[in-house]
Structure 1
Amino acid sequence: MPERPYTYYDFTLSLCPHCLRRVEAKIVFQDEAVYMLKRCPEHGRQKVRIASDIEYYKQIRNYVKQSEVPRRFNTATHYGCPYDCGLCTDHEQHSCLTVVEITDRCNLTCPTCYAESSPTHGRHRTLEEVEQMIDTLVANEGEPDVVQISGGEPTLHPQFWEILDMCKRKPIKHLMVNTNGVRLAKDEEFVARLATYMPAFEVYLQFDSFREDVLRQMRGRDLRQVRLDALAHLNKYNLSTTLVATLQKGLNDDEMGQIIDFALKQKCVRGVTFQPTQAAGRLDHFSDEGRISLTDVRTGILEQSPVFSADDLLPVPCNPDALAMAYALKLDGEVYPLTRYIKPAELLQNSRNTIVFERDPRLQGHLMRMFSTANTVDTVTPELNQLLCCLPLVQAPTLRYENLFRIIILQFMDAWNFDVRAVKKSCVHIVSKDNKIIPFETMNIFYRDQPKQERLEVLRDIPVL
């Protein structure tokens, strides 16, 4: 009998990338990769490569955990995902990290910008508006895990310090500022004042490349010296920092190992986040040839960095389709990957991870000194609760946040690779201008501006095909 040229694996709902209507989609294995096959009545058949590693794609199902939902939901489920965002009652994950955009304005006009920010775009939110956004989040979460003050460029806001002071009065576990670093590079006093908000405070610093041509294509400007000057100030005050690199295939995906190596040498840097470009917002030089998947990034890290192995970069249980993470310990000038010792079954059954280590006298010596409980020569029960989470709870006597180093791969789906199963578990959210809490992915596809919302009103009445 004749055979299909692929192996049928699964089924989901996706979007037509041209008109954004919901369509059925097959997940298939073909030519050693994972593809999504879908058909729009108006725009025909589409084939989108969503993963380059079939075995890893199958493995992520082993990391799915029971959903943790917010204390309250904000909208009813009427039209079906993704047309009810707010969070709707059908969403399966609370806000692990929430972005609060305090301004539309920016001191750059990056050719790659999901928010389409610029020096003339939009306006600053008032302090009252921002506090209402924060209060909406607190009502949902009780104690939000991570809140990221963003924009635009948040350091331009005329009431920036008042906003930080207000946030520090709220029950927020960890506060971040998302920045391009221009202000931090020019103004050491600004960085010194930021450092007074520690602990539980961090800078999320844009860091895409070491090459001028890449930065001009992605950011419209050679920002190499800006990044170095900003980091010099951040290192001086040891202000906790995450470097975040937006990636495009064939442009800067060959620099991942170099960025990790550079980050490990910076006193202030606690980790690197790699984000494949989401096809949304301003994309002056992006084409589908530049699309890169989570598994492409993971493979690139493993090929380019000698520090991490395949057992280190694991799916994150709250949304394993979109998140992978590795943790390491930085001890006495050496780096010890940690997540390789986590087993999926134990991870999902216990809130406190029991980590079984290989016989490494150096590592065991460090751990026996640092952790409060030791069971055997090979087993240590460290106070690193919820290790595969944005921020583990660290309660070891001599272990500090600066001893931890994390690698995160964070893939924000767009209309091409949209998978309704994954977006229901999205845990990175944005508080909208009308005080709804919306997954990052659907915010940029449907809810960011008035034209998109008007298009959404039309789509809601179209049946799934």
Structure 2
Amino acid sequence: MIIKESSLKKGLPKETGSVCPECGKLIKAKIFEENGKVMIEKTCSDHGSFKDVYWSDVELYLKAERFAHDGIGVINPKIKAKKECPFECGLCDLHLSHTCLANVDLTNRCNMHCPICFANAAAAGYVYEPSYEQVVEMLKNLRSNRPVPTPAVQFSGGEPTIYPRFFDVIKKAKELGFAQVQVATNGLKLTELDFCQKMKDSGMNTVYLQFDGLNDEVYTQARGRKLLDVKMKAIENCRNVKPKPLSTVLVPTIVNGVNDDQIGEILNFAVKNSDVIRSVNYQPVSFTGRIDKEEREKGRFTLPDLVNRLESQTNFLKKEDFYPVPVVTPISELISILAGEPKVAFTAHPHCGLATFLYIDNGNAVPVTRFVDVEGMFSQMMRMAEKLGKAGFLVRLLGKMKSGKSKKKAIQKNFEKYFGKYIYEDKLPKGLNITELFENVFSDQSKESLGEFTWKTMMVG
């Protein structure tokens, strides 16, 4: 088993742990419903009480936690003696999930000075910039995790593209076996085509591009300067690298009253440029530490707010299209059992994110929920995984089959039998064969066909 039943407290109200935003002390917090919203309230003995919106839609909040699963953590944590979370980590034995995507900060230096900056880059008063050797040790640490070595790494900062040995760490990450190597960047260096090509040649898989809107007024407010031309040039260069485009994810930081009116427009732009843009990963602004209450309430933007804007600003998305990250854990469980070894499982907290997938059909975006019963299919996968987990002989037999006709035929027969009823054949986009896609996923038959499918899909969340 790669996943377990969730230990998360369900329903409302409930208590959880939190920290004082003034002093950082560990304190208790209460999560409860108020006027259709989910609120969080906590009290510090030294700094008083704090109350804020956690999720602006209680219905979505309760839906999300239905899909919670715990992972199995790591069996070789770096810190084995349990300490008081979250003041010591690295990973420790309290973790319920393994690392799916690791962020490695290459530097706190930056070539911009944004008014909005989660990393507080260039404001620390000192330079944090690990040596190449130190970065390599971090990467080796991640790949040494068991039972699932970390499969993906994202270099961040500061601005990681100004790190002196940027291309060397990309090459080393690929050498160490990371399937996905990513960079989170403001895009300034990506205005140089040669730089983009060198990233691609070094092994970069995906660019996470800061992209806050489609007019310079937004960039002036959020980033302190006009940047739209920079973003467009960066995207064009990622499109033009050889032999194939450099997969690009747009990352808009959303601030209420600043660019929340551009959420739909950003997605429409991404759909029109889906030959290079693979995803839009919206980031509701984070307020950390001390901040004026009025300013915090004015700028607060939660995940349900994002879903609401996407529904109202596009003509193809609805609230019910969105699910939390761990909804896909049954796929991990089933693949792990069929493979005979643990595979990556996305057992993130159910309130960490909401997303959906679009299938791009001739420039039109169709949510997968229109032609797949997502909840029904994943529930069936979980039941099948549990059944196969008990039928050891069948699993071993399937695992011993060579990747070929015998294995594919067995999977095809069972897929159609158990999952066919969850696919709405009459609503499938032309040319899309879901049955064949899942056959390839579970039998590892064709990376090429899977790649072709993923270039026609787009994650939004």
TM-score for the superposition, normalised by structure 1:
0.75
2:361 aligned partner: 331
Equivalent in 101, 108, 116 of residue 112 of structure 1: 116
The alignment status of 1:209 with 2:273, answered yes or no, reads: no
Q: Which runs of 5+ in 2 are unaligned?
A: 1-10, 327-346, 386-414
Q: Any conservation in 2 of the 1:372–1:396 contact (CA below 8 Å)? A: no
**Is the alpha carbon distance of 1:62 and 1:362 closer, same or farther for their aligned partners in structure 2, counting shifts above 3 Å?**
closer
The alignment status of 1:101 with 2:114, answered yes or no, reads: no
Q: How far apart, CA to CA, are the structure 2 residues paired with 1:320 and 1:148? A: 22
Q: How does 1:225-244 map to 2 (within 5 A)?
A: 225-237=229-241, 238-244=245-251
2:50 aligned partner: 46
Equivalent in 196, 200, 203 of residue 201 of structure 2: 196
The alignment status of 1:269 with 2:277, answered yes or no, reads: yes
Residue correspondences, number: 384
| Residue range with higher mean Cα deviation, 138-147 or 32-41 | 138-147
Q: How far apart, CA to CA, are the structure 1 residues paired with 2:262 and 2:134? A: 39
Q: Any conservation in 2 of the 1:244–1:274 contact (CA below 8 Å)? A: yes
Q: How far apart, CA to CA, are the structure 1 residues paired with 2:295 and 2:158? A: 20
Q: Which runs of 5+ in 1 are unaligned?
A: 1-6, 374-380, 386-392, 409-465
Q: Give aligned-pair identity as a percent.
A: 29
2:335 aligned partner: none
Higher relative contact order (CA closer than 8 Å, sequence separation 6+): 1
Q: Secondary structure at the match of 2:455?
A: helix
Q: Any conservation in 1 of the 2:441–2:450 contact (CA below 8 Å)? A: no
Q: How far apart, CA to CA, are the structure 1 residues paired with 2:369 and 2:98? A: 23
The code of the aligned residue for 1:329 comes to: Y
Q: Secondary structure at the match of 2:310?
A: helix
**Is the alpha carbon distance of 1:366 and 1:281 closer, same or farther for their aligned partners in structure 2, counting shifts above 3 Å?**
farther
How far did 1:31 drift?
Answer: 1.1
The code of the aligned residue for 2:272 comes to: K
1:438 aligned partner: none
How far did 1:139 drift?
Answer: 1.1
Q: Any conservation in 1 of the 2:271–2:364 contact (CA below 8 Å)? A: no
Q: How far apart, CA to CA, are the structure 2 residues paired with 1:217 and 1:86? A: 36
Q: Secondary structure at the match of 2:213?
A: coil
The alignment status of 1:293 with 2:298, answered yes or no, reads: no
Equivalent in 360, 367, 384 of residue 432 of structure 2: 367
1:405 aligned partner: 458
How far did 1:44 drift?
Answer: 2.1
Q: Report which of the two has the higher share of helix.
A: 2
Q: How far apart, CA to CA, are the structure 2 residues paired with 1:347 and 1:16? A: 41
How far did 1:335 drift?
Answer: 2.5
Q: Secondary structure at the match of 1:191?
A: helix
**Is the alpha carbon distance of 1:349 and 1:104 closer, same or farther for their aligned partners in structure 2, counting shifts above 3 Å?**
farther
Q: Any conservation in 2 of the 1:69–1:92 contact (CA below 8 Å)? A: yes
How far did 1:228 drift?
Answer: 0.8
Q: Secondary structure at the match of 1:209?
A: coil
Q: Secondary structure at the match of 1:113?
A: coil
Q: How far apart, CA to CA, are the structure 2 residues paired with 1:209 and 1:332? A: 24
The code of the aligned residue for 2:145 comes to: N
Q: How far apart, CA to CA, are the structure 1 residues paired with 2:161 and 2:425? A: 48
**Is the alpha carbon distance of 1:272 and 1:354 closer, same or farther for their aligned partners in structure 2, counting shifts above 3 Å?**
farther
How far did 1:395 drift?
Answer: 7.0
The alignment status of 1:320 with 2:328, answered yes or no, reads: no
**Is the alpha carbon distance of 1:269 and 1:8 closer, same or farther for their aligned partners in structure 2, counting shifts above 3 Å?**
closer
How far did 1:34 drift?
Answer: 0.9
**Is the alpha carbon distance of 1:242 and 1:8 closer, same or farther for their aligned partners in structure 2, counting shifts above 3 Å?**
closer
Equivalent in 142, 145, 149 of residue 137 of structure 1: 142
Q: How far apart, CA to CA, are the structure 1 residues paired with 2:176 and 2:151? A: 12
Q: Deviations over 1:60-107 (max 9, x none)?
A: 221012314134212135442222322121111111111111122111
Q: How far apart, CA to CA, are the structure 2 residues paired with 1:123 and 1:361? A: 53
How far did 1:311 drift?
Answer: 2.7
1:247 aligned partner: 254
How far did 1:35 drift?
Answer: 0.8
